[in-house]
Amino acid sequence: MKPDATVQKVFDRANSKWGNRSVPNTNWKCPEGTVPIGRNHDLNSDVHDLNSDVFSSKVVRRTGYIYSGMRTKGDTVKVVHGASANMSVWNPSVVLNNEYSGAGISLESGQGPQRNYIKAGWAVNPRIYGDHQTRLFTVWTVIPSVIIIISVKQADDHHSTGCFNTHCQGFIVTDSRLALDHIVFPTVSKYRGAKEIITYINIAKDTKGNWWLSYGYTNVIGYWPREIFTSLGDGASTAIWAGEVFANDGDYKDPFPVMGSGFVWEDHYNMAAYFENMEFVNSANSSITPDGTTVEFHQNDFCYYAAHYKYSEQRGFNFMYGGPNIDGCW
């Protein structure tokens, strides 16, 4: 299966406009007619203790989830059919195995049991992968402060569904070169580094209600099928571009992880994490460059920053986000 003409037009336009900036090495390929299925670090049981496996790929309890970024404004953007951006790639310090730090693009729709959610981006997540490398990831139906137990039912605000990558039935891989659990960024941005390491994420809805994921402009990884959703198949109500951290410490004894580079410096793109060349797709399937009338800052706490949005010919619409590890961030 391949993207339909509507999605391919969105992907082709982005490729011609912004070009390919950074793609990790993926020079291996599965046999003809097969696709890769990743194996994660913590899938040795079908039954998980909700208290101990707080951030495995099978069960998620997000008791300490903080995000900082931008989102489409609900009063001016009613329906979203896609979102994309270049993202600077970092390797933030994550000390504990039940913590993670990353950044991604999300599409959301619905309320309560009809709420659906998909996301793609990069993250350091030792709980899932058993290491501290920066990897590409996808996730569907994971909403903050909700417990998720994997099943093959429709998305329902995480009362019974959702997972990372291909750890349950949901996301369908169509590219035999790419295994989601094994897309590792061999190099990352460094503070005051000479080179900015960037990856590109594009998520777009086809005419049937499937949501396609393109990575690095020319790599269509696969799609979330309409059948797993209860509301997102008709389009999203919100697009979000954000950094995020998670720590599961009910007493808040340990500092939260670094977000992005750990710093936010205006106009210093080699020192701060950022999203650039941001676009969203409207209900007419036209790609729109955001401005102050269509997007706004989106944070659930002020421990980390999202700031300095602007437009330039080279970077398009862009903003910076992040901050250091925070002690008692509530």
pLDDT, one tens digit per residue, over 59-83 is 233 457 888 999 999 999 999 999 9
Contacts of 290 (CB under 8 A, 6+ apart): 70, 72, 278, 279, 280, 317
Whether 122 shows a pLDDT value over 60: the answer reads: yes
Whether 192 shows a pLDDT value over 60: the answer reads: yes
Residue 291 lies in a domain: yes
What pLDDT score was predicted for residue 143?
47
Which range marks the domain in which residue 271 is found? 5-18+63-148+158-322
Mean pLDDT, range 102-107, rounded to an integer? 97
pLDDT digits (tens, 9 = 90+) for 285-321: 999 999 999 999 998 766 788 998 999 998 999 999 9
Buried b (16+ CB within 10 A) or exposed e, 283-303: eebebbebeeebbbebbeeeb
Mean pLDDT, range 170-192, rounded to an integer? 86
Question: What's the predicted TM-score (pTM) here?
Answer: 0.84
pLDDT digits (tens, 9 = 90+) for 31-58: 555 555 555 444 332 222 222 232 233 3
What pLDDT score was predicted for residue 218?
80
Contacts of 244 (CB under 8 A, 6+ apart): 65, 66, 67, 68, 101, 102, 103, 104, 259
Residue with tokens 């995000």: 67
Residue 28 lies in a domain: no
Higher local confidence (pLDDT), 175 or 109 = 109
Mean pLDDT, range 270-299, rounded to an integer? 95
What pLDDT score was predicted for residue 37?
55
Residue 36 lies in a domain: no
- Residues 79/107, Cβ–Cβ less than 8 Å: no
At residue 288, φ and ψ (nearest 5 deg) are -115, 130
pLDDT digits (tens, 9 = 90+) for 216-264: 878 899 999 999 888 899 999 999 999 999 877 554 566 788 999 998 8
Mean pLDDT, range 141-158, rounded to an integer? 41
Please name which of 86, 120, 80 lies closest in space to residue 295, comparing C-alpha atoms: 80
Number of domains making up the chain:
1
What pLDDT score was predicted for residue 161?
63
Please write down the long-range contacts of 153-156, taking CB distance under 8 Å and 24 or more positions apart.
154/227, 154/228, 154/229, 154/230, 155/116, 155/117, 155/228, 155/229, 155/230, 155/232, 156/113, 156/114, 156/115, 156/230
Mean pLDDT, range 102-127, rounded to an integer? 90
pLDDT digits (tens, 9 = 90+) for 82-102: 999 999 999 999 988 888 999
Residues in a beta bridge with 202: 84, 214
Residue 27 lies in a domain: no
Residue 34 lies in a domain: no
Q: How confident is the model at residue 141 (pLDDT cuts 50, 70, 90)?
A: confident
What pLDDT score was predicted for residue 33?
57
Residue with tokens 């619905």: 110
What pLDDT score was predicted for residue 328?
53
Residue 144 lies in a domain: yes
